[in-house]
């Protein structure tokens, strides 16, 4: 009898935790072909992406999801995985967040339009000076976030070298 009573008490808990949740969970949005290139197509002796401070960077990515909502580009100093915002006397690490919206006035798409696919192609200016000092040269993280209407998020990161000394070819 004690065993039966134990199972009778335990049964509701087993049913509670073993029920199949029929909620419709939408998949995370996807970012593919994410790239950062310079606006003048400079080619140096360095490997990888190099952007010149004071010039333009081009951000490209293929975005996919269920009713895309927001794209955010987070750029920050990332050399050696140190996300420091301190600076020395000669230069300062640069950081910025750029947000693009879907479905709003002056957004990536017209008001009320939330696409399932979008080819992001944006030009951004890379400053040469911040707070009166030249920006610190080195590796920066270009972190692209993507959200859909359901609040699902995904992200992709690229390491980009920003340099300031450059001779035009």
Q: Does some domain include residue 18?
A: no
pLDDT tens track for 45-101 = 344 689 999 999 999 999 999 999 999 999 999 865 554 445 467 899 999 999 999
Q: Does some domain include residue 17?
A: no
Nearest to 138 by CA among 68, 51, 62, 45: 51
Number of domains the chain contains: 1
Q: The domain containing residue 78 runs over which residues?
A: 29-163
Question: Global pTM?
Answer: 0.77
> Any residues with CB less than 8 A from the CB of 22 and at least 6 apart, and which?
none
């Amino acid at each position: 009898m004690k065993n039966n009573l134990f199972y009778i008490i335990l049964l509701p808990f087993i049913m509670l935790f073993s029920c199949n949740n029929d909620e419709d969970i939408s998949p995370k949005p996807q970012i593919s072909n994410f790239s950062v290139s310079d606006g003048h197509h400079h080619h140096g002796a360095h490997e990888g992406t190099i952007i010149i401070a004071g010039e333009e960077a081009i951000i490209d990515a293929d975005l996919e999801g269920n009713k895309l909502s927001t794209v955010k580009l987070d750029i920050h100093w990332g050399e050696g995985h140190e996300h420091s915002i301190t600076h020395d006397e000669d230069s300062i690490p640069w950081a910025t967040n750029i947000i693009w919206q879907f479905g709003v006035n002056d957004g990536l798409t017209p008001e009320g339009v939330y696409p399932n696919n979008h080819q992001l192609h944006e030009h951004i200016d890379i400053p040469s000076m911040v707070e009166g000092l030249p920006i610190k040269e080195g590796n920066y993280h270009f972190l692209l976030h993507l959200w859909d209407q359901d609040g699902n998020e995904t992200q992709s990161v690229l390491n980009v070298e920003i340099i300031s000394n450059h001779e035009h070819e």
